[in-house]
Structures are given as C-alpha cells and as structure tokens.
C-alpha cells in the first residue's frame, strides 16, 4: 500500500493538518504539495487537502482532483475560517466531492484555520462579508492540537475502513 498526502496551502494551516495525517499513516507514504505531485498512478490512497477560498476549492486543487485517474481512492480535507459544519466550509467540501465523482471518496474532514489578518480587515469593511470576517477572527489559533488530533483520527478511520 502506498499513500500520498498532498496539500495546497498559503498560510501553513493545511500543511499542518497534512503532516498530522501523514504521521499516523503506516506503510509506504509520501507527503508533497499538490503542485509537486508527479505520478498519481503509483498511489493506492490519496489524501488531498486545501484551504477554503470564497467557499470553494482553489483552482490548483480543482485541477489536481480532475487529473487523478478514475477509480483511485481519495480522502479530502480542508481548513477554513468558518465554524466547523458551517455553510461555507460545507459547500467547499461538497464541491471537492463533486470534482472527485470518478474517484472512490473514502471520507472528508474539515477544521478551522487561521485566516490572514489583512484579508479579514479587508472583508470586515464589506457588508456582505462582515459577519464571516468577524467569525474568522476567532480562528486565529487554529488548527490547534485538538484539530490535529481529529485529523489523525480521521486518517486512521479512512485507512482502517479501506483495508
């Protein structure tokens, strides 16, 4: 069994979650950013992580998911400024799952992540984004150890369910 843990990150949040997942996976494994993945054929399992941008999946991750060979097993994870289970984060995960419709999706996971303070300050000025921006301020310490432990448990569950 060979597993790929790959991620797209801008603030480091998603990479932290990816590393937590990577460390609990047994067998042959590799961790690399999405843009550095070379040969998807060689992996039995793929964990793919991304930050939620504008309640969606960043374009590099969309392209990556679309290029995974049909039938591959994938687990998706995301970081976001919203509360867990919030509409914006849920919409992004659902979008990622729809992109993976040719794949076998083994599970999804999301947790909060720190949002760049400059972005928050810009968004809080816009009435349509003010509530979200104020909520995102409270994610300043995420992902925290509890989030990372949840990510580790998610990875164990995915791998256990698929063997």
Is residue 99 a contact partner of residue 65, using CB atoms and an 8 Å limit? yes
Is 91 exposed, middle or buried (CB count within 10 Å of its CB: 0-12, 13-18, 19+)? middle
Take residue 59 and report the two structure tokens written for it: 């374009």
What pTM did the predictor assign?
Answer: 0.91
Look at the domain 2-114+142-162 and name its fold: Rossmann fold (3.40.50)
Per-residue pLDDT of the chain (163 residues; tens, 9 = 90+): 899 999 999 889 999 999 999 999 999 999 999 999 999 999 999 999 999 987 789 999 999 999 999 999 999 999 998 877 778 788 999 999 999 999 999 999 999 998 888 887 888 888 888 887 887 788 888 999 999 999 999 999 999 876 5
Could you tell me which residues come within 8 angstroms of residue 155 by beta carbon, excluding any fewer than 6 positions away? 20, 21, 24, 25, 47, 75
Whether the CB-CB separation of 11 and 114 falls below 8 Å is answered with yes
């Amino acid at each position: 069994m060979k597993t790929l843990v790959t991620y797209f990150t801008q603030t480091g949040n998603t990479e932290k979650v990816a590393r937590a997942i990577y460390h609990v996976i047994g067998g042959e494994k590799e961790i690399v950013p999405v843009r550095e993945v070379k040969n998807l054929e060689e992996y039995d399992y793929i964990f793919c992580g991304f930050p939620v941008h504008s309640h969606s999946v960043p374009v590099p991750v969309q392209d990556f998911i679309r290029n995974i060979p049909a039938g591959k097993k994938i687990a998706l994870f995301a970081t976001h400024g919203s509360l867990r289970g919030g509409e914006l984060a849920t919409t992004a995960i659902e979008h990622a799952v729809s992109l993976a419709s040719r794949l076998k999706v083994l599970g999804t996971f999301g947790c909060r992540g720190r949002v760049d303070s400059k972005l928050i300050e810009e968004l809080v000025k816009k009435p349509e984004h003010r509530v979200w921006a104020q909520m995102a301020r409270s994610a300043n310490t995420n992902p925290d150890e509890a989030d990372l432990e949840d990510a580790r448990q998610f990875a164990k569950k995915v791998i256990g369910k698929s063997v």
